[in-house]
Structure 1
Amino acid sequence: MALTVQDMMEAANAVVDRIDTGTAKKLLGQGGLLLDVRDAVELQQAGRASGAHHIPRGMLEFRADESLQSHDPELRKDRPIVLYCAAGGRAALAGKLLKDMGYQRVYNLGGLPDWVNGGGEVTA
């Protein structure tokens, strides 16, 4: 049977913990990476969380694979990674992908509004 988006979301939410802004800030203070997986157009329109690193969801596999030349050195398996997107769906799916690739400390913050509503700053 073919998977649906609902199936994929349930699987992602089962393995990627959802956290709030306070917990995210604590992880960032311990050397964690705040990772924005939205598209570039979304960043231009709404800005990004202060200090966030950007890798579009569609490129994550290529940036996360340490064996590829396109690997992003900000992604390290020993580092907590806090993901966010616009509403939390892509962040959950991205988190599951990273876990499937061997990243252990992966968390879903939700969307940029969750960051802002929790007191997080945004830059242009």
Structure 2
Amino acid sequence: MSESVKALIAQARAQIDNLPVDEVAKAVEAGGVTLVDLREPGEVEKEGTIPGAVLAPRGMLEFYADPSSPYHRAEFDPAGTVILFCASGGRSALAARTLQSLGYQDVAHLDGGLKAWKDAGRPTTHEN
């Protein structure tokens, strides 16, 4: 029997760090973290993003994150701290689990995504 996307997200959330907005904000302010926006370019254009975030659409994440990939981006370091986010937390939960499978040890996601960030009154930008 196949699983629903809701079940897959629940399984991923059980295996990753689900960080609230305040913890993500503190980590970003402290520095030394790679904050990754997994949304599509049209979403980012419409809604903005978190200042300092690296834009990496979900469909390219594995290629950008894998050091052996010809598409690897230097911002992605398996030994570094990575916090992922999307619109509401589903894609980022699945993506965090995927990065764990690729050997990333310190990976988490923003619980509730950009929606939670905005609802908490945190800043966004269209400049990244």
Structure 1 residue ranges without an equivalent (≥5): none
User: Amino acid of the residue matched to residue 20 of structure 2?
Assistant: D
- The CA deviation string for residues 33-79 of structure 1, in whole angstroms up to 9 with x for no partner, is 11100000000100111111110001111111100110011011121
Q: Which residue of 2 aligns with 1:111?
A: 113
Q: Which residue of 1 aligns with 2:22?
A: 22
| Contact residue 64 and residue 75 of structure 1 kept, 8 A | yes
Q: How many residues align?
A: 124
- Aligned with 1:49: secondary structure? coil
Runs of 4+ in 1 over 3 A off after TM superposition: none
Normalised by the length of structure 2, the TM-score is: 0.89
- Aligned with 2:99: secondary structure? helix
Q: Percent identity?
A: 38
Deviation at 1:6, TM superposition (A): 2.5
RMSD: 1.3
Deviation at 1:107, TM superposition (A): 1.1
21-30 or 59-68, larger mean C-alpha shift: 21-30
Normalised by the length of structure 1, the TM-score is: 0.92
| Contact residue 21 and residue 119 of structure 1 kept, 8 A | no
- Aligned with 1:122: secondary structure? coil
5-14 or 113-122, larger mean C-alpha shift: 113-122
Structure 2 residue ranges without an equivalent (≥5): none
